[in-house]
Chains A and B, each alone.
Chain A
Amino acid sequence: MRGISKAYMVLVMVFLYAPIAVLIFFSFNAGNSTSVFTGFSLQWYKELFQDEETLSALYNTLVVALLSSGISTVLGTAAAVGINKLNKWMKNVVMNITNLPMMNPDIVTGISMMLLFVFAGSILGSDDVLGFGTLLIAHITFNLPYVILSVLPKLRQLDSHLVEAAEDLGCPANKTFFKVVLPNIMSGVITGFMMAFTLSIDDFVISYFVSGPSFQTLPLRIYSMTKRVVRPSINALSTLIFVSILVLLIVINVLQAKDEKKAERRRRAAK
């Protein structure tokens, strides 16, 4: 029985990670083929970093990811503070509305946003609205619920007497937020930011619809590369994206684990 469960586990892992393993493996291929390995080389990585278009796509991706995750972190944290103060019923309503975009298929979100942007553009008298601005708005929109979801539990855990204690010591409410509330929910804010950043780098479907030909992100760039002759440099690029996302996820997880440990220690100290 034990053997079977182990074998099953291995199979699951193989199916999950085999494609990525193959991709990483062939990114180091010396040859031109995507099926025959002829020797180790870094030439595809070299080619990648000489490709102007790819580099500009990388730059765009990072700019959009940083801006969208930064803005959605500020908006999302503010929203979480507000939501936390609502009564139970209103909180449920607002949270369901917030969660809806996460359940919504990306393609529906993408198309609906594109239509909205084009419609808004036509009202403003422009027929070429799709580009950096629309992409940024779209990314902020789909990032928001994730930030709210990671900040809200921290606010709920926060001892409400801390805020009162600060006021009691002469601290006005807005100052209290920055001096007492924010430091204590910071781990949630950072997790939210990292998640938003990851999602933004990751996104293809929504970006595909709301960005124009003038503005390309890495996932869009990869997609357009596959339309022409598939070069192994795609493998190299995908490997880099996979690794950086992996690192981000590990950092998020480590942060969360640390935080839980701290909370556990505090609980014990309180007793």
Chain B
Amino acid sequence: MKNKIIDLHNITVAFDGEKVLDGIDLSIEDGQFVTLLGPSGCGKTTTLRIIGGFISPDSGDVFFDGKRINDLPAYKRQVSTIFQRYALFPHLNVYDNIAFGLRVQKVPKNEIAERVAEVIKMVNLSGFEKRKIDSLSGGQQQRVAIARAIVTRPKVLLLDEPLAALDLKLRKDMQVELKNIQRQLGITFIFVTHDQEEALSMSDVVVVMDGGKIQQIGTPEDIYNEPVNAFVADFIGESNIVDGIMIEDNLVKFAGQKIRCVDKGFGKNEPVDVVIRPEDIDVVSPNESPLSGLVTAVTFKGVHFEAIVDVDNFKWMIQTTDMIKEGQEIGLLLNPDDMHVMRKSEYSGMFGDYSSFSDEMDYISDPDYVEDEESEEVAEAEE
């Protein structure tokens, strides 16, 4: 068991009477890549800022390496932050930006030069030392921000949506690079994002948040395959979520059918939510499966087709590599491990039905959406 580097106990924060964090309990083990994932306004950035020391919680305790640090100011904490807009010092060049933290700590000059050179190499910025910040591209600024944050050798690195402002390709590259840097340094990364794909591909542990509460903590596989409620199932990937009744262990009834599944431990005849991922559904001819319906829309997505299928007025989303056409009658075949059964929650009935399927579902993976969100924040700040 590794030691807990960060421990949050029952953290509550309210801004202007509105609860932003509501009883957050979170333990983070040393050396892990942890992602706080959630929609905007879920409290993920606030959680990060509490760890960084920029916000103090209204109630609850923050522990760092076993010591309570609620009252420790930000400049005394052994954490570094990479800010969303990088927050590089515009009056300093690349070298001086990176050296800033070491100079403040009065590290000897030759050691500063050594350590700065080391991190500059690590983030591939050799030759840029004398460049002005405003002459750098977004990706280069990002690298300077990383170098500046890791040169002080923090025990924990906090990353506040650091990739949000980059274009898609650069973003993918930086995901890999950040992961490499984390492995190389062996320190804890706490990464905030609203991009579920980013969260799944980079993290050791994903913390899904919504409404100021932690919904689920787990490995990316756990979160994807075993979501605890409809919110998590819907936020991570695409999901069909249908009302069901757990007849007994390994047997669930939904859409008028009793179907074998692998879930157990529910009460007899307990109402449940059943999650079926669109890629797990096999397309067969209508007479081969008890579930069949009419294809109402097909979108070509490159690697597969995405289709909306109307089964007794409930619209399912399926993903298949088989050629299907609008207006076609198809059967949907489910294997026992294609289904995941969840207990009912406050989110039941809110997600997982594609009858109103439209562009609004796409915003989660739309990079432009962030821009809007940020400009709103800026507008608020300016008021």
Contacts and interface: CB of A to CB of B under 8 A. Distances in A.
Contacts of B89: 162, 165-166, 180, 183-184
A169 B152 contact: yes
A172 B87 contact: no
A53 interface: no
Residues of A in contact with B, size category? 20 to 34
Contacts of A172: 73, 75
Interface stretch (B100-108, B342-350, B360-368): B100-108
A171 B89 CA distance: 13
A189 to B, nearest CB: 13
Contacts of A85: none
A170 interface: yes
Given A161-B83, A162-B87, A180-B89, A269 B136 contact: yes
Interface in B45-71: 52-54
Contacts, number: 81
Nearest to B80: A168
Contacts of B135: 269
**Chain A interface mostly:** helix
Given A180-B89, A184-B90, A266-B90, A165 B83 contact: yes
Contacts of B84: 161
B83 A167 contact: no
Contacts of B52: 164, 168
B85 A159 contact: yes
B81 interface: yes
A269 to B, nearest CB: 4
B15 to A, nearest CB: 14
Interface in A113-154: none
A183 B89 CA distance: 10
29 contacts: A162-B89, A164-B52, A164-B83, A164-B87, A165-B81, A165-B88, A166-B89, A166-B104, A167-B73, A167-B74, A168-B79, A168-B81, A168-B149, A169-B148, A170-B75, A170-B104, A170-B152, A171-B75, A171-B101, A173-B75, A179-B100, A183-B89, A184-B89, A184-B90, A266-B90, A269-B133, A269-B134, A269-B136, A269-B137
The 5 closest A-B pairs by CB, nearest first: A169-B101, A161-B87, A183-B91, A165-B87, A167-B74
Interface of A: 88, 159-162, 164-173, 175, 179-180, 183-184, 262, 265-266, 269-270
Interface of B: 52-54, 73-76, 79-81, 83-85, 87-91, 100-101, 104-105, 133-138, 141, 148-149, 152, 381, 383
